[in-house]
A and B are shown apart, each in its own frame.
Chain A
Amino acid sequence: MNRSASRNLRYGLTTALAWTVAILVFFPIFWMMITAFKTEEQAYQLSVFFTPTLQSFRDVFARSDYLAFAGNSIAISVGVTVLSLLVAIPAAYSMAFFPGPKTQKLLLWMMSTKMMPSVGVLLPVYLLWKNIGLLDTLSGLIIIYTLINLPIAVWMTYTYFCEVPKEILEASRIDGASTWQEIVHLLMPMSLPGLASTALLLLILSWNEAFWSINLSSAHAAPLTVFIASYSSPEGLFWAKLSAASLLAVAPIMVLGWLTQKQLVRGLTFGAVK
């Protein structure tokens, strides 16, 4: 009796803690959502009681071509995800099943490239992109995002591939399967949940990337992050419009994240479950 009471108490406390954290994390998004339906003057007031209006959304749609930005965001995220997986799967395959003496170091080195602040290489990349004509093109953004996200993609797929028993692949090789068949017909189906969460994470990361998109695009390839950046203003009231623009920008990816949260959580906690 006593034991189950203390267990209940512990359960209650964890639940309360989880809810607190969840509310803390969600609060800014909630606030953005309600601000989007306020007028500019109400946006500065802390009240949650107001008559909702769609004025900010009307302004945002009148001022910029949302669909063009959203189309670019979709093209870029899908392009990055496909390209990254095309490179990451063969790389992780060779690292997981045919490790050399330097594989571990190579993996660590790849991660270390994530530690450099992007702005440090802005000028060289900008000049390079200018000379090869990639400035303000979707291809230019897809390439730079892929390069940025590859370490994560390789690491994640590598971890999942390590969970696949080597013996199964060896058996298929004895049966005469080529490397290509081995990857496509055995390895990929067996690690599908892992690959799915990698793909989702890549989608989200490239959807949210703001630094390179703002700097390398101008009129034609600008994704939704640039769309948001155009709604802040040093002189004048802008919070309601900025919130409406942000809501429009994050909505698609939030819905996707909501629908696929199981895979995502598995992807994000892959180190912890082992």
Chain B
Amino acid sequence: MKYLRILPFIIFLFFLAGCSNQDGTADTSSASADTIENKGSDTIVNLALAWAEEYQHVHPDIRISVTGGGSGTGIAALINGTVDIANASRQIKTEEIEAAQANGGDPIEFVIARDAIAVIVHLENPVNELTLQQISDIYSGKIDNWLEVGGEDRPIVRLSRETNSGTHVYFLEEVLRLGAKDNPTLFSQNTLLLPSSEGISVEIRQNPNAIGYDGLGYVTDEMKVIAVAREADTEYILPSAETVNNGQYPIARDLYMYTNGEPTGAVEAYLDWILSAAAQPIVTELGFVPVLH
């Protein structure tokens, strides 16, 4: 029964060895490598990931760690000084800037891409176009059947991202409330709040009653994108790089990265690269809209 006594020690040593070994390799590499901590918006996380991967091919000596968690989380981490770059799908709030300044920081903003929010339905849904007002009425619960907007006699199932996503907030302010600050419209209570974009995609793909919205990057050819008009008498526009950059498509926003103070060294080089012709094509690959500089 001797092994009974040794077993826990072996496990413990193994654990320590595993960790310290990792420590060793991390130490040797960090002597020659810089680490960039990058955290924030779930909308941007896939883009940030793609950039990080590509950048590490070009500059193997730089290590970039990317985590999601939401725009608020990223900015909070930036204020606390635990990340180098915060990703946000919304602009930093005044309170957050104040909080950062109170901590001796100074957030600097970079617009790194644009995102069109596409309104999506099932492929077999005959509805092709909607006005902003109609979309607002659908989501607030005033319109309950596809018949009312020229579709089949089917109940409307509303899909939305969770309330803490930047996309949700943007959609509430710009679409449901049509950009008016004092408009108290809220999402209908039976709106399905899915924890993720992919949840919306899965449901849209198989449910002909559903309507959803999501970043253009999440749209695949298994769903139908609705053309949107600002008013009933204006043109219905489909989201694309062109219509977003010339301002025709009404539901589009900027995506941001923030640094604490003017970036220097590896972070500066990385941000320069992100805004360069080398990195912006990746934006298109992921379905976002590149920024024109």
The answer on A and B forming one complex is no
